[in-house]
Amino acid sequence: MNEGSARRRLVECCHLLYERGLTFSAGGNVSVRLDGEAILITPSGANKGLLGEDDLVKMTMGGEVVSGGKPSIEHRFHLGIYRENPGTNAIIHCHPLHCIAATLKNEGIRSCITPEGALLLDRVPTARYETPGSQALVDAVMEYADSPAMLMDRHGAITQGRTLEEAFNRMEELEFQARLQLLAPDAEDLPANEIDRLKEMRRCRYWSPNGSASSSSTRGPAA
Ligand SMILES: [Zn+2]
């Protein structure tokens, strides 16, 4: 995907995250890997509902700004995840209300209550709380760098995908499952044999950074 298309898609994604209530005010950050050794990432302190294409920051994988202003305070864990997972082309971090509520209740996200959860999310770990923007937070996130989706204690969530759409779908599904669990806290998981069947479908249909899925994803290779 060329840089112009990547800018347009990234801004569309930010507006959608904001309109869907998945992030608020200036919270969260989104990035895509460009062809070669560079990423585009949202700037520091920008409202995601008002973001424009010219606001985006282009950085090298080494963390140097190529164009644009000040990058998101969390650019280091974006770069770390890209370096760890060559197949990852898009990363979304935001602050979904029900995901944060789940961490405050000391509950993880159970992904096997519904079939879509089992297909899209895999196991969802929770990164420990650390100060936003700190190296300690980067270290906490990198412990789960190969997870398609993770929660962050008292903070939010991170998803990744081979495409921006895949990362967005995972974030939307993660927040859906968090809300579902709060509404139906006694819900049981699907039967074990059904979960096995869904895991097999997931392996065939969905890309995953930890290699639990095949490369035959239905979506294109770029963000
Ligand atoms: Zn955050």
Q: How far is the CA of 196 from the centre of ligand 1 (A)?
A: 34
Q: How far apart are CA 80 and CA 156, in angstroms?
A: 18
- Token pair, residue 217, equals 């994803």
**Has residue 16 got a pLDDT over 70?**
yes
Residue 58: partners with Cβ closer than 8 Å, 6 or more residues away: 3, 34, 38, 39, 40, 65, 66, 67, 68
How many whole angstroms separate alpha carbon 157 and alpha carbon 92? 8
Q: How far is the CA of 133 from the centre of ligand 1 (A)?
A: 8
Strands of the sheet with 90-94, listed across from one edge: 65-67, 57-60, 38-41, 29-33, 90-94, 156-161, 149-152, 126-127
Q: Which of 67, 63, 58 is nearest to 35 (CA)?
A: 58
The environment of the single-atom ion ligand 1, i.e. residues with CB closer than 5 A, is 156
More confident residue, 137 or 211: 137
**What 3-state DSSP class applies to 97?**
helix
For residue 132, report the distance from its CA to the centre of ligand 1, in Å: 6
Q: What's residue 205's pLDDT?
A: 77
Average pLDDT (73-86) is: 96
Question: What is the mean pLDDT of the segment spanning 86-105?
Answer: 96
Residue 101 in tokens: 């509520």
- Dist. CA 177–CA 102, nearest whole Å: 10
Whether 74 is a known active-site residue: answer yes
Ligand 1 centre from 63 Cα, in Å?
Answer: 19
pLDDT tens-digit map of 144-165: 999 999 999 999 999 999 999 9
Mean pLDDT score, 166-190: 94
Give me the numbers of helices (H) and strands (E) for the chain, helices first please: 7, 8
Ligand 1 centroid distance, CA of 194 (Å): 35
205/216 Cα distance (integer angstroms)? 6
Q: Which of 12, 53, 64, 74 is catalytic?
A: 74
Q: How far apart are CA 5 and CA 34, in angstroms?
A: 10
**Structure-token pair, residue 137:** 């937070």
Degrees (nearest 5) of the Cα angle 113, 118, 124?
90
Predicted structure pTM score: 0.91
Paired tokens of 194: 């059904």
Task: Calculate how far, in angstroms, residue 24's C-alpha sits from the geometric centre of ligand 1.
Answer: 10
The CA-atom distances, in angstroms, between 6 and each of 43, 58, 90 are 15, 11, 10
Q: What spacing in Å lies between the alpha carbon of 190 and ligand 1's midpoint?
A: 32
Tokens 């989104």 belong to 30
